[in-house]
Chain A
Amino acid sequence: MAMASRVFLLLFIMFSFYTELSFSLYEDQVGLMDWHQQYIGKVKQAVFHTQKAGRKRVVVSTEENVVASLDLRRGEIFWRHVLGSNDAVDGIDIALGKYAITLSSEGSIIRAWNLPDGQMVWESFLQGSNPSKSLLSVPTNVKVDRDNLILVFSRGSLHAISGVDGEVVWKKDFAAESDVIYAIGSVGSSQFDAYELNARNGELLKKHGAVFPGGFSGEMLLVSGDLVVALDANKSSLVTINFQDGIKFQQTDLSNIVGDSSGTAKLLPLKLQEIFAVEINEFVVLIRVTGEGKLELVDKLNNAAVISDPLLLSEGQHAVALVHHGDGKIHLTVKLVNDWSNDLLKESIVLDHQRGFVHRIFMNNYIRTDRSHGFRALVVLEDHSLLLFQQGAIVWSREDSLASIINVATSELPVEKEGVSVAKVEENLFEWLKGHLLKLKGTLMLASPDDVAAIQGMRLKSSEKSKMTRDHNGFRKLLIVLTRAGKLFALHTGDGRVVWSLLLPSLRNSACAHPTGLSIYQWQVPHHHALDENPSVLIVGRCGQSSDAPGVLSFVDTYTGKEIDSLSLAHSVLQVIPLPFTDSTEQRLHLLIDADQHAYLYPRTPEAIGIFQREFSNIYWYSVDADSGTIKGHALKRNCAQEILDEYCFDSRDVWSIVFPSRTEKIIAAVTRKSNEVVHTQAKVIADQDVMYKYISKNLLFVATIAPKASGEIGSATPEESWLVVYLIDTITGRILYRMTHHGSQGPVHAVFSENWVVYHYFNLRAHRFEMSVIEIYDQSRAAANKDLWKLILGKHNLTSPISSYSRTEVVIKSQSYLFTHSVKAISVTSTAKGITSKQLLIGTIGDQVLALDKRFLDPRRTVNPTQAEREEGIIPLTDALPIVPQSYVTHSQRVEGLRGIVTVPAKLESTALVFAYGVDLFYTRIAPSRTYDSLTEDFSYALLLITIVVLVAAIFATWILSEKKDLRDKWR
């Protein structure tokens, strides 16, 4: 039997050699362990395209600079384009019935996209000197030789652009015969000017100017063709200005219309004829302008109301939609502009209260079979989701908040309860065998397309990957993501579905002016004690944009998705430091640093303070101030000296500081190790049976500075005036372990720090190519000490002794640079449960793909001709460029549009890491940097194994019978 097992072992070794070493995927494996979700972001503008029969669509532009065409029936994306990060869309429209027109970059770029497939048809660049508000309009009545003209006002001039090819037909003017363009504006604060221009040639027809004695507050609204409404300087009265023939002012006190005018008024732009809105005292007041500048109150709505743009129903009839909230429902009302008392439509829709208030509404109508008007409304909600209402129901909804993820954390799923049997999955043996036979056919390339589809379906169904319980390999987890809308989502790693979502109540508090979510931290991860507790996360937010605004804390249960507790802080939150201590309920201790460098301890329990006091002198942190170019180290001093004694508040003292000369160096990147990273071994055995000791310290900081002159874009500096300096700094003592200058290089720098190495990416201006460098740090003193055999025998080797940053360890630093083809958007490194598996760098390239690159390619010990021993160790011969193998893109043939970050989480299985890349799109997969050496691959054919065993057993019996027979024959002979 020992022999047989040896044979099996041999075969398995052969088997493992048979598979080659690289991350790769077969095309039919797509979707087995990865998922990809496409989003667009919060919709800014929407234009419906429903006139023609066939596909009804809506073209939208979003705050993530996305232009997309959505299916109006199901909400799916027909096509989508993510524009550059500083190419914000100002206006969209549809021209000629076949092109979607976008105006972007403050009105300087106008593009036309083909509606069916999203192909860009033309692009025009509009020149002008003065940045100003830009407007886009596609009039239907302006036609020249069957060519629609698009009118664009941008950068201080008016352009007419041909809808067919994007040529600028004229600049500054145009229109049909009788048309006159008015340019109006205010000079200073009280002078009002109106210009009449001939639209055809830009000739100035008339100019009026008048001075309003009270002065304007700056806001103006065009209410009708010849009437402008403005607020006077102290915002207490409305001024209507008629500029048709000469300029006539008429002033009306706000209190006369509204009743009281104690609050500050604000004009809201509405595109209604003769009606405008004023926001005052939490109310929106709709005011109609009647003849001769008389104002009358139309409607008074509470603040959460949103009004759509008017919609032309028939000649002279415009409809608007109003949406407001009340008792957990949304009330949608459609009214005629000139007949306000009648409602064309009144609907109430019950909405998930996790979506918040309505922010925007876009309306569209259709003709019902009975020739009456039907309405559909596209609604953008507070949580950035997009909904389509029709006939009192939600037709579809999109969770577009997920396009703006700020931070990601993970959470385990609940443990599987007793009594749930696994037998249900494997229905019966026949089915099971049939499935495996199909799979076998697939691997042998004998399967027909139908079979392939069946295999895919079966794999997805049987893989149990979307179950809501913890699995053995640790593949099933919850991804907790915080989005810019202040909404928290839990995504299942199995299929990417939203398990729960929560619009954080503490971030919507009215006490908080402009609440913004900042980051998520693991608050409570129960595993040893307190197993009956649910895990929870801490969400840190801030009231307002400035860094000294007071903070908000929120604690959310990750199983139920309910907020357990929330705290409105009196102090600001500049830094959050998760400490490596937990209390008896496994709540992690967190130290929050405010703008005045006070440290606050959370949770605020006596137990926490007890743990904290024990480690009081061992707590250090650092702060990086890029503006002043300083890095400071801090430590705790004593309790805060305030009037009210707060035993959870501590003063800090500066331990050290490094000031970079502001004329020559500017900090652009500071990266440290992930605090939860696991390192398997400190020793690294090198070729000649020698050992190198990695210098592993959690307190190392990588800092990159560049010349201030070269801090701009790539074309802005010459190689002579740009340099990149990298530092390795110990954050306890402030000691600079290493400093290196790359002459002629500039940012942006993307860096990742893991174990004892840093990899960073920058631009080399001399070669005009991107480069990646690696720095590895080795502990020399340790290596020398461990050479002493006696110390080893007597157990005095210092592998287990504690390390102090104050003991000046001698370090050896090795470094090497390589060329890398692409620009990089994000860089990250795989992390596994025990840190045994070799590492891969995950590089988010400019093409929004994620490339997995073995760390072995970034090894400073690479040489052009490695010795035999080094080759055996796995050192790759040095090449000047890093290889880009298409099969090692973890995103394979998909793009994570607008890629911003890559997060890796270890699975329980040592060989595997989970990868989540986010941007406008989300992508999740799991990768095994050294192949799945501890489990069978997904496409392992159990059927083939079974058949082999059966054949072997049959053969044994056959030979046994044969030999018996032979024996018998021999005996008879």
Chain B
Amino acid sequence: MAPRMRSGSVILLLFVQFCFTLISSSLAASPGSGEGYSIHGRVKIPDFGAKGFGLPAKISNIKVILNGGQRVTFLKPDGFFSFHTVPAGTHLIEVAALGYFFSPVRVDVSARNPGKVQAALTETRRGLHEFVLEPLKDEQYYEIREPFSIMSLVKSPMGLMIGFMVIVVFLMPKLVENMDPEEIRRAQEEMRGQGVPSLSNLLPGAARSS
């Protein structure tokens, strides 16, 4: 920021604390720290612009994670990412992106051929020639509401109830008409004996029991 700097000369105070350096030099001597190789890669999100549902692919919220959280980095606008000073060995890179399912990637950093990096998807065991990560599938976090249809209304319990009613009201008389007039007369007499018709009379099971 401007206020901190004096116009004219740039002065940076560099506290080269030698005593501190002495302590830390033993740390620096241990293998691994300060040296290692770089892993460069790219995350490619296919353009699901016409998807219309779910999340827009927001590249700024995608994280790339090395070894289950040891290091976290973010994507540049063109999708590139890199990890530096990674020791030789076999590592795991994961991509955390909302709305997409990425396979973790097994990354072999070779010690013999310095800087040679081999990658393979662990989910599909597919080797990668180029270090370009693409989602295996996109993730829908919500159920999709079924659009309105007559069938869904009919299939709902209420619809079934109404349908049943309709059958009883309109089809039963038809059935009755096709019956033997003798039987109808007998049934009618029985009904008269019972008095006021009720719902149970309309049901076939109840009619049989009476």
**Residues of A near any B CB (own CB < 8 A):** 1, 3-4, 7, 11-12, 14-15, 18, 24-28, 30, 47, 79, 81-87, 93-94, 108, 111, 114, 117-123, 125, 127-133, 135, 137-142, 151, 153, 156, 158, 175-176, 178-189, 199, 218, 220, 222, 225, 271, 309-312, 318, 444-446, 713-716, 748, 763, 765, 767-770, 821-823, 825, 845-849, 884, 886-887, 889, 892-893, 895, 944-945, 947-948, 951-952, 955-956, 958-960, 963, 970
Contact = CB atoms under 8 A, between A and B. Distances in A.
B151 to A, nearest CB: 12
Contacts of A952: 161-162, 165
B117 to A, nearest CB: 12
A27 B142 contact: yes
Contacts of B12: 135, 137, 151, 153, 158, 181-182
B143 A130 contact: no
A768 B118 CA distance: 14
Nearest to A310: B3
B120 to A, nearest CB: 8
17 contacts: A3-B203, A11-B157, A11-B161, A14-B160, A25-B141, A120-B77, A141-B5, A141-B7, A156-B21, A158-B12, A179-B10, A182-B14, A188-B18, A312-B3, A887-B143, A945-B158, A952-B162
B109 to A, nearest CB: 8
A716 B87 contact: yes
Contact of A846 (B59, B96, B99): B96
B178 interface: no
A121 B1 contact: no
B30 interface: no
A187 B161 CA distance: 92
Given A26-B143, A944-B156, A948-B162, A84 B206 contact: no
B187 interface: no
Nearest to A30: B142
B3 A85 contact: no
Contact of A85 (B34, B69, B157): B69
- Nearest 8 pairs between A and B by C-beta? A312-B3, A847-B96, A84-B72, A886-B139, A715-B89, A823-B68, A185-B16, A948-B158
B202 A847 contact: no
B179 interface: no
A196 to B, nearest CB: 11
B4 interface: yes
Contacts of B161: 11, 948, 952
B141 A887 contact: yes
A109 to B, nearest CB: 8
Interface stretch (B42-50, B100-108, B126-134): B100-108
B116 interface: no
A714 B74 contact: no
A713 B96 contact: no
A180 B142 CA distance: 61
A468 to B, nearest CB: 31
A156 B153 contact: no
A608 B71 CA distance: 50
A127 B35 CA distance: 9
A185 B16 CA distance: 5
Nearest to A443: B145
Given A119-B77, A823-B69, A893-B142, A156 B165 contact: no
B58 to A, nearest CB: 9
A310 B2 CA distance: 11
Nearest to B143: A24
Contacts of A25: 141-143
Given A714-B92, A955-B169, A960-B197, A125 B157 contact: no
B113 interface: no
A318 B3 contact: yes
B57 interface: no
Contacts of A84: 65, 69-73
A768 B92 contact: yes
A181 B11 contact: yes
From B4, B9, B12, B109, name the one whose CB has the most chain A CB atoms within 10 angstroms: B12
Contacts of B3: 309-312, 318
Given A4-B200, A176-B10, A893-B98, 6 more contacts: A94-B1, A132-B17, A714-B92, A715-B67, A889-B139, A893-B142
Contacts of B197: 960, 963
Nearest to A220: B15
Interface string B56-67: 000111010101
B82 A821 contact: no
Interface residues of B, number: 95
A181 B188 CA distance: 115
A748 B157 contact: no
Contacts of B28: 129-131
B194 interface: no
A130 B60 contact: no
Contacts of B24: 130-132
Nearest to B104: A821
Interface of B: 1-21, 24-25, 27-28, 34, 38, 54-55, 59-61, 63, 65, 67-77, 82, 84-87, 89-92, 94, 96-99, 101, 103-104, 106, 109, 122-123, 139-148, 153, 155-158, 160-162, 164-165, 169, 188, 197, 199-200, 202-203, 205-206
B11 to A, nearest CB: 6
B9 A769 contact: no
Contacts of B84: 108, 125, 127
A319 to B, nearest CB: 9
A171 to B, nearest CB: 14
Contacts of A140: 2, 5
B60 A111 contact: no
Given A312-B3, A768-B122, A887-B141, A123 B10 contact: no
Given A120-B60, A140-B2, A948-B158, A132 B20 contact: yes
Given A175-B10, A893-B55, A715 B18 contact: no
Contacts of A137: 4-5, 12
A129 B103 CA distance: 35
A123 B101 contact: no
B67 A714 contact: yes
Contacts of B86: 715
A823 B94 contact: yes
Contacts of A886: 101, 139-141
Contact of B98 (A122, A183, A199, A895): A895
A310 B5 CA distance: 11
From A199, A947, A948, name the one whose CB has the most chain B CB atoms within 10 angstroms: A948
A15 B13 contact: no
Contacts of B15: 132-133, 184-185, 220
Contacts of B165: 951-952, 955
Contact of A445 (B103, B109, B122, B146): B146
A139 B28 CA distance: 31
Contact of B200 (A3, A47, A132, A889): A3
A513 to B, nearest CB: 26
A768 B70 contact: no
Contacts of A121: 76-77
Contacts of A944: 156, 158
B94 A822 contact: yes
B106 A768 contact: yes
A123 B90 contact: no
A15 B25 CA distance: 72
B72 A87 contact: yes
A896 B1 CA distance: 33
B185 to A, nearest CB: 10
Contacts of A27: 142
B157 A4 contact: no
B13 A132 contact: no
A406 to B, nearest CB: 20
A225 to B, nearest CB: 6
B76 A123 contact: yes
From B5, B11, B54, B106, name the one whose CB has the most chain A CB atoms within 10 angstroms: B11
A122 B16 contact: no
Contacts of A444: 148, 153
